Structure 1
Amino acid sequence: MNKPELISKVAEKSGLSKKDAEKAVNAFIETVIESLKSDNSVQLIGFGSFQVKQRAAREARHPKTGETLKIAAANVPSFKAGQRLKEAVK
């Protein structure tokens, strides 16, 4: 499912117009991004949680040349599924 399909489903299930559903989906995405930028996690009980994790610096190899590269440490977004979501997917 892509974003336009998600917006259509949200509109259908909530009774909102597609324009209002799009605003709601975009607002949700922006809110999650802003929260993660400010180092806060977002927890949706039953669905899951979004958080920022630190990835340690590491060494890797260039596949063509075999040259060793250093990859810097980075903050990366992470999602952990909640119990209800896990059970629904089983």
Structure 2
Amino acid sequence: MNKSELINVVVEKTDMTKKDVTLALETTLEVITETLASGDSVKLVGFGNFETRKRSARKGRNPQSGAEIEIPESKNAAWKPAKAVKDAVNK
């Protein structure tokens, strides 16, 4: 399911207009992104937690030349699903 399909499903399940659903979804994603960028986490009870995780610097290989390269440390966004989501997926 992509973003537009998600918006269409929410429109069908609610009395909201497509414009309102689109605005709500885009605003929600923007707020989550801004919160993660600031280093905080977002906890949605019953759905899961969004957080940033630090990846340490490490050595890698250039796939074209085979030369060893240094990969710098970075931060990545991560999502940890709630138990209810895990149970629904594994049902």
TM over 0.5: yes
- Within 1, Cα distance between the matches of 2:14 and 2:6? 12
- 1:58-69 equivalent positions in 2, closer than 5 A: 58-69=58-69
2:74 maps to what in 1? 74
Deviation track 1:22-47 (CA, whole Å, cap 9, x = no partner) reads 00100110010111111110011111
- Within 1, Cα distance between the matches of 2:40 and 2:79? 13
1:41 maps to what in 2? 41
The share of aligned pairs that are identical, in percent, is 39
Deviation track 1:12-70 (CA, whole Å, cap 9, x = no partner) reads 12221111000010011001011111111001111111001101000001122110010
Residue ranges of structure 2 left out of the alignment (5+ in a row): none
Q: Which amino acid aligns with 1:50?
A: F
- Within 1, Cα distance between the matches of 2:24 and 2:9? 12
- Within 2, Cα distance between the matches of 1:56 and 1:13? 43
Q: CA RMSD in A?
A: 0.8
- Within 2, Cα distance between the matches of 1:29 and 1:57? 29
Q: TM-score, normalised by structure 1?
A: 0.95
SS at structure 2 position matched to 1:75: strand
The structure 1 segments of at least 4 consecutive aligned residues displaced by more than 4 Å after TM superposition are none
Aligned residues: 90
Residue ranges of structure 1 left out of the alignment (5+ in a row): none
2:11 maps to what in 1? 11
Q: Which amino acid aligns with 1:26?
A: E
Asked if 1:54 corresponds to 2:58, the answer is no
Q: TM-score, normalised by structure 2?
A: 0.94
